[in-house]
Chain A
Amino acid sequence: MAIKTITGNKAVAHAAKAARVKVIAAYPITPQTTIVETLAEMTEHGELDAKMIRVESEHSALAATLGAAAAGARSFTATSSHGLLLMHEVVWWTSGARIPVVMSVVTRAIGPPWNIHVDHNDIWDQRDSGWIISIAENNQEVFDLTLQAFKISEDPRVYLPMIVGLDGFILSHTVAPVDIPEQEKIDNWLPERRQPYVITPESGIVMGNLATDENYYMMRYSIQAAMVEAKNVIKEIDSEYGEIFGRSYGGLVECFHCDNADYNIVIAGSWSGDAKEAVLKLREEGYDVGVMRVRYFRPWPDEEMRGLLSRSKGVLFIDRSISFGGKGHLMTEALTNLPALANLPAVRGVIAGLGGVDVVAEEFYELTKKFIEEVEEKGRFYDPLYWHIPMVHREKYKPRLPGYELTCYKR
């Protein structure tokens, strides 16, 4: 065991190294760049026995990663924002091929205008693609999730590629202590790569030629079946990781005082820490409030979310993304379970922090307190698009968003 004080991006590189990846193909993009740099350094200096393919685009990065994986090599890539969007075609191709692959996504805003700061629209954009999609809260979890991703993705019950998200700059470029377990312990825990088939002269396998529409349909069904199965695999691997390495996060979601709380925040990514801080303060003041942090966006934590919505008086969703013409992603996903709910809580969907706008613990505190007070006063309500507009713009933009009740909190 070694504690290293490293950035989230270094944690990713160390996890890939610990998983003994054989092939890495990646194209630099801010804020993912230092992952590529570190892995290049590790391979060139002989610390990691892997081949690094310095591809000319992200589209090629994932294609090369898939090619290596189809040949039987454990392979890895990392990207962000526009890189992920460029790669999107191959994202679908990879999951469709059912070839296990791991990819880090350093979350970042999509332009124009150019913006390199944290935003979840890039990672959630992969929502429908058949990848397992996770997102970490801190650098330690970045390491743990990346390492676990290889085991989850290569589990015969799953055989799907996996994304591990980490927030741009907030995690990718910020140092924090990360416990890296001994390699021997990791080797004992992470089995040799498993995959459903390889494309070799001996296997004679042809991947991806035409299929009948009916067979195509069943292949899609099969991906969904694997997603459902993945829920168990994720929980199983999370708890065995806890037993062996001492860290367990709770599976698809992390429940922070959310078991019995009347009010709950649903949130994902690094700013969950700020939300938790606000919740602790509110709890001290006697408010019954908790946080459900979404760790896995795919497969979506249906059961956990259903339970939370059923037992809460009010749920505050905080999204760092917006599906234009729709709503925030976490809230949209959670509310697909409405018909199955015993009780309906009050719901507010907050859109905040787009393009890296900072939202600090005090703001989470105010947002939550205001929500609780409104519910206590009015009872159940549905307020799906609550724009937490940055302070500098509040007066200017308020009258320009017709159709929605624009309820910004005032400092």
Chain B
Amino acid sequence: MPIKLRDFPRTHFNMPGNAACPGCPETMGIRYVKMALGDKAVLVIPAGCSSVIQGISPKSGINFPILNIVFAAAAAAASGMKAGFEMLGRDDVQVVVWAGDGGTADIGLQAMSGAAERGDDIIYICADNEAYMNTGIQRSGATPYGAWTTTTWTGKKEHKKNIPFIMIAHDAPYVATATVGYPQDFIEKIRKAASVKGFKYIHLLAPCPVGWRFDPALTPEIAQLAVKTGLWPLFEYHNGSLRISSFSRMYRNKEKRTPLEVYLKLQGRFKHLKEDDVKVLEEYIDRLWAWLDLLEKASHPSDTAKQLVKESK
């Protein structure tokens, strides 16, 4: 169902006066989670920017009930909460993990993998700002090739770890990518996730003005450019079937993509990149799309599987 902005109530979806930096994509993202789920959700937040964004007790700058938890345990704590709610007869509560790329791709990967394998009924959202921003821009497993960080001064030598693909490999019933550049797409995906039983994963690209070195006014634009250059394809994987989302569909065609330089030039973290580096990234994009193509073709379930899925609903 298309989202009409006018239909949203005139309430606070986030709490202003929090500790986020100006132009922060995480506060944007958390607002969209609130818009999507309303008052029926609790968040589990591991260490990261979002633990700080909340600000200082007794107030909290994020408009959700939250269980803050140690860095490596977000998904596990959420599994426990969901089990608690279920045992108390509260199936109506959505338990949502809101974690950064460190808490997801690196230190929290094991707990998330466990929860996904168990099929625990939670929504896991990774707000990916592509480095450890909270501690001051150190590289993470999700930092892209070439990016400057305070632990990769000449640019990262390795590619970004592809977490959505790893979650697809877990056979999670719902996996999607999104970005703060297209809030409606993100909100729709959260709502879709909420309607699916089992482990749901949404990977939200969250361009960070401080860590990526760009003007804070450009957060949405950079996020949109990541999609338009083909670097961040938006897709949904639902019950074994992969579909490229509408905002990304036209970029299957390489010709239609915005040149990658446009995206890179706006960001200080890429300013040292040479032509060869750009090529490496372009090849990465091609490989990414080739994978998506394969997955899309391979993922149309057989009639039997479709039937089983239907029955399980």
Residues of A within 8 A of B (CB): 22-23, 25, 49-51, 53-57, 59-61, 63-73, 75, 89-90, 93, 199-201, 203-212, 215
Contacts and interface: CB of A to CB of B under 8 A. Distances in A.
B230 to A, nearest CB: 35
Interface stretch (B3-11, B23-31, B50-58, B275-283): B50-58
Contacts of A210: 51-52, 54-57
A206 B80 contact: no
A57 B76 CA distance: 9
B83 A211 contact: no
Interface in B43-72: 44, 51-52, 54-57, 60, 62, 64-70, 72
A71 B88 contact: yes
Given A64-B76, A93-B69, A75 B40 contact: no
A199 B77 CA distance: 12
Given A57-B114, A212-B56, A207 B67 contact: yes
A51 B111 contact: no
Closest 10 CB pairs of A and B: A67-B80, A71-B84, A56-B114, A64-B80, A208-B68, A60-B76, A63-B73, A68-B84, A73-B84, A67-B77
Contacts of B73: 59-60, 63, 90
A65 B44 CA distance: 14
21 contacts: A50-B87, A54-B118, A55-B76, A56-B113, A56-B117, A59-B70, A59-B76, A60-B79, A60-B111, A66-B67, A66-B77, A67-B67, A68-B83, A68-B84, A72-B88, A93-B69, A199-B67, A206-B68, A208-B67, A210-B54, A212-B56
Contacts of A203: 65
- Residue in A55, A69, A72, A93 with the greatest tally of chain B CB atoms within 10 Å: A55
Contacts of B111: 56-57, 59-60, 63
Nearest to B114: A56
A59 B67 contact: no
Contacts of A215: 57
Contact of B40 (A60, A64, A72, A201): A201
A53 B39 contact: no
A75 to B, nearest CB: 7
Interface of B: 39-42, 44, 51-52, 54-57, 60, 62, 64-70, 72-73, 75-88, 90, 93, 110-111, 113-114, 117-118, 120
Contacts of B87: 22-23, 49-51, 68, 73
Contacts of A66: 67, 69, 77, 80
B276 to A, nearest CB: 41
B15 to A, nearest CB: 10
Contacts of B40: 201
A54 B118 CA distance: 8
A211 B78 CA distance: 23
Contacts of B54: 206, 209-210
A89 B74 CA distance: 13
Contacts of B76: 25, 55, 57, 59-61, 63-64, 67
A63 B77 contact: yes
B68 A57 contact: no
A50 to B, nearest CB: 7
B96 to A, nearest CB: 11
B84 A69 contact: yes
Contacts of A55: 76, 79, 114
Contacts of B117: 56
- Residue in B66, B67, B68, B69 with the greatest tally of chain A CB atoms within 10 Å: B67
A51 B83 contact: yes
B42 A201 contact: yes
- Residue in A54, A60, A204, A207 with the greatest tally of chain B CB atoms within 10 Å: A60
A204 B65 contact: yes
A73 B42 CA distance: 16
